[in-house]
Amino acid sequence: MGKDMVIPRMSGQKEMRIALFINDIQTEKVTYTTNLFAITAINRGHEAWVISAEDFIYDRDDKIKARARHAPKSMYKSAASYLSDLQGPKARIEEIVVDDLDVLMLRSDPADEIGTRNWAMSVGIDFGREAMRHGVIVVNDPNGLSSARNKMYFQTFPEDVRPRTVITRSRQKIKDFAKEMGNWIILKPLQGSGGKGVFLVKPEDMSNLNQIVDALSKDGYIIAQEYLPAAAKGDIRLFMMNGHAMKYKGKYAAFRRIGAEGDIRSNVHAGGSVEQAIITEEQLELTKIVRPKLVQDGMFLVGLDIVGNKLMEINVFSPGGLVNAQRFEGVNFAHAVIDSLEHKVDYMRFYKRNFCNAEMATL
């Protein structure tokens, strides 16, 4: 594929049947990236069903089905009108056969289910695996996602791209690590997302270290991470698709996130703000280093969180913020995503759905 990730449509392109799996249709928000994908697919003449965690069915005929929703119109100009229709009484509600879909996009975040609906954490992976067996293209690959259920997955990438890290429940190990790092460290839970439970521990905070560790360890293991001073200026969310930095019409799908004053978290829903990002060769080098594993694991679309010359996190479940990238760069990056899915569907038709899902996910 070309450097700009622009994929020409094949002649005779047929309508695709896509389903997007999310945590809960009724809790979706206008700014969510999933809406952008659905609207773009619908406006291009495709079906874009939406499935919540409680909607799957493994039926007696060994088929995977789902009680799914579809917005009623064939064209949408805004996410607000689309989501209003999808969540309201105008929505088409049908029991669809998931096995007959062309594409199933897994866009739920298991971390959002912790403590409230633990049963829902692996639903997409489990039913996605079954749909995959029946020839549906499932992205990101369910087996790859299964190995990435918590932040331990990040440690499987080369140390060159990530901060120095210790994962433990031991107070003493964390104290030793803090001393090694000059008593500047980040502490966060192994399981979680959205900046929840993230602490910056500075030299003057060391007297409270025991209390912080005790609070975090109630939920499991703790990540103790080297503090990167560049984090004070925020981070960059850069999207990767098919193992490459995502670029469409000459623009990178990226934006900069800046934490609220006095808050180390740059997550937008944790009070941060956003601005346009400038992507450097140093940051593109990071994408080249992580590419082999992302491709091996069938990670079609991911979000890299970059601070300086290091990655803070790789988001593989439901990387968000594409709307922000679109706003700053002036292009609809969802077209690149749908372009790529159209090609994958054509490849599968040529090969009669007989292709390795992990390979197809990043082809």
Find, among 9, 83, 1, the residue nearest to 46 by Cα: 9
Query: CATH fold of 17-143+334-355, please?
Result: Rossmann fold (3.40.50)
* Whether residue 271 has pLDDT greater than 80: no
Q: Output the 3-class SS for 243-296.
A: CEECEECCEECEEEEECCCCCCCCCHHHCCEEECCCCCHHHHHHHHHHHHHHHH
State the pLDDT at residue 151.
83
* Whether residue 8 has pLDDT greater than 90: no
Cα separation, 149 vs 110, in Å, equals 7
The per-residue pLDDT for range 281-328, each reduced to its tens digit, is 999 999 999 999 999 999 999 999 999 999 999 999 999 999 999 999
Name the most confidently modeled range: 115-124, 231-240, 266-275, 288-297: 288-297
Cα separation, 266 vs 224, in Å, equals 18
**For residue 101, how many C-alpha atoms fall within 13 Å in the half-sphere facing its CB?**
32
E strand segments, the chain: 17-21, 47-51, 56-58, 64-70, 92-97, 103-106, 137-139, 165-168, 185-189, 199-201, 222-226, 235-241, 244-245, 247-248, 251-252, 254-258, 273-275, 301-307, 310-315
* Whether residue 52 has pLDDT greater than 70: yes
State the pLDDT at residue 232.
86
Q: Other CB atoms closer than 10 Å to residue 330's CB: what's the count?
A: 9
Backbone angles phi, psi at 251, to 5 degrees: -115, 140
State the pLDDT at residue 359.
94
Find, among 106, 147, 80, the residue nearest to 22 by Cα: 106
DSSP character string of 14-61: PPPEEEEE-S-GGG--TT-HHHHHHHHHHHTT-EEEEE-TT-EEE-TT
* Whether residue 251 has pLDDT greater than 90: yes
Cα separation, 61 vs 232, in Å, equals 56
Residues of the chain with CATH 3.30.470.20: 151-158+230-329
Model confidence band, residue 195 (pLDDT cutoffs 50, 70, 90): low
Cα separation, 63 vs 100, in Å, equals 9
**Could you tell me how many helices (H) and strands (E) the chain has, helices first?**
10, 19
Assigned CATH for 164-227: 3.30.1490.20
Residues of the chain with CATH 3.40.50.20: 17-143+334-355
Model confidence band, residue 275 (pLDDT cutoffs 50, 70, 90): very high
State the pLDDT at residue 257.
93
Contact 140, 298 (CB under 8 A): yes
* Mean of pLDDT over the chain: 90
Both structure tokens of 184: 């500047």
Residue with tokens 């934006």: 255
Cis peptide leading into residue 140 (ω within 30°):
yes
Contact 130, 64 (CB under 8 A): yes
Model confidence band, residue 138 (pLDDT cutoffs 50, 70, 90): very high
Model confidence band, residue 3 (pLDDT cutoffs 50, 70, 90): very low
CA–chain centroid gap for 84, Å, is 24
Model confidence band, residue 115 (pLDDT cutoffs 50, 70, 90): confident
- Please state which of the ranges 10-14, 209-213, 292-296, 326-330 shows the lowest mean pLDDT: 10-14
Residue with tokens 């091996």: 296
Backbone angles phi, psi at 104, to 5 degrees: -120, 115
Residues of the chain with CATH 3.30.1490.20: 164-227
Strand 17-21 and strand 103-106: the pairing is parallel
Three-state secondary structure call for residue 89: coil
Query: CATH fold of 151-158+230-329, please?
Result: D-amino Acid Aminotransferase; Chain A, domain 1 (3.30.470)
Q: Average pLDDT, stretch 262-282?
A: 71
The per-residue pLDDT for range 327-361, each reduced to its tens digit, is 999 999 999 999 999 999 999 988 877 789 999 99
